[in-house]
Structure 1
Amino acid sequence: GRDRTATLCATFEAVIGAVYLDAGLEAVRTAVLTLVKPTLIHIIEESLHKDARSEFQMWAQAQFNITPRYQVVGVDGPDHAREFTIEARLDQQVWGHGRGRSKQSAAHAAAAEALKLVAFIEGNLPPDQTRITAETPSHA
């Protein structure tokens, strides 16, 4: 349990709440900034705040003036444990596939796969690092 994200989030929230009740808002502000500022700086400097969908969209718009579409092509599993399969598309071309427990996570995975293809096309990734399928666009 101690490594579960939900447990860690709840614990952090409880500690921040206790600091607020004991010392007030300014103490919370100081504590939170002390804890998260180095991570925030790293995220901003490394552009980690941009997720795969945002990155793929920026690339697609710059290259083709097209916004990617994400299409659900499969839903598997029982109602309580669905797994979605989504394609990342530019026009009718499939650029990536993704699977996930939510549509959002599947779309993110599809965009991440599309970015691998982009990196390959632009010469930034060796061919063995990406999965190129028959549906991969033959032109870019």
Structure 2
Amino acid sequence: MKLSGDLKEFETRIGYHFAAPDLLNRSVTHASMSSANRDDNQRLEFLGDRVLGLVMAEALLALDPSATEGQLAPRFNALVRKETCADVAREIDLGKVLKLGRSEMISGGRRKQALLGDAIEAVIAAVYLDGGFDAAKSLVLRLWGKRVTRVKEDARDAKTALQEWAQARGYPPPKYVQINRSGPDHAPVFTIAAQLENGAEAQATAPSKRAAEQAAATKLLARMEQPE
């Protein structure tokens, strides 16, 4: 199977050329485009998620031999979560080469966080099957780049960190209130306020409720931890 011009350019962007091009084609084929003669990327996504996890676990252990499991876990989660995967996918313009059904194309599938995150995992699996673990590891570390070396133990889930801060001071858990929702159905934008019982509040806007809540929690925690 030959690759299209767009996929050949994509190979150059990721720095890997496939011996079996059909693997790359399958990795960028969404379920909305699958048929009896065309496999989608769901099984590859399942495998790629595990390969990504192993690469990151190895990398974090090597970077900090003295780190405890409690320190490593939040760093690991920050590197493999769907938001991070989608960010990496955007950087290599993965959305441009995705093969989507009409309904997904109309609904803005090339920009959807979940779809992009799943697709980059499928690409990782395709490289793993094509060139082995070392090739997949090299790809992941190259694409994630400085994210791996910069991740810190305080990269833990911002909502969890804010809740821990509140509980340590005798406050109930923070509340998250949707202030606004704008944009079309295929590309919504949410504004969420994180609120503490003492009246402190911070707002953030993002393409998903989860991302907006995390951003608002990050802002509020940073504000509360500032020295008076």
TM above 0.5: yes
Partner of 1:84, secondary structure, is: strand
Q: Which residue of 2 aligns with 1:13?
A: 125
Percent identity, please: 29
Give matches, 1:1-140, under 5 Å. Answer: 2=13, 3-4=92-93, 6=116, 8-18=120-130, 28=133, 43=151, 46-91=152-197, 93-120=199-226, 122-123=227-228
TM-score by length of 1: 0.61
Q: CA RMSD in A?
A: 3.3
Instruction: Indicate the SS of the match to 2:214.
Output: helix
Higher relative contact order (CA 8 A, sep 6+): 2
Higher helix proportion, which one? Answer: 2
Deviation, 1:49, is: 4.4
TM-score w.r.t. the length of structure 2 is 0.40
**Number of residues of Structure 1 aligned to a counterpart in Structure 2:** 112
Over residues 74-131 of structure 1, what are the superposed CA-to-partner deviations in whole Å (9 max), with x where a residue is unaligned?
11111111111111011372421011110001101111110221122x34xxxxxxxx
For residues 32-89 of structure 1, the C-alpha deviation after alignment (integer angstroms, 9 at most, x for no partner) is 5xx77xx87974xx21440221211111111133211111111111111111111101
Runs of 4+ with >4 A deviation: 39-43
Unaligned runs of 5+ in 1: 21-27, 124-140
Distance in 2, matches of 1:17 and 1:64, equals 51
Alpha-carbon separation, structure 2, partners of 1:94 and 1:57: 13
Which residue type is aligned with residue 113 of structure 1?
K
Distance 1:98 1:42 in 2: 24
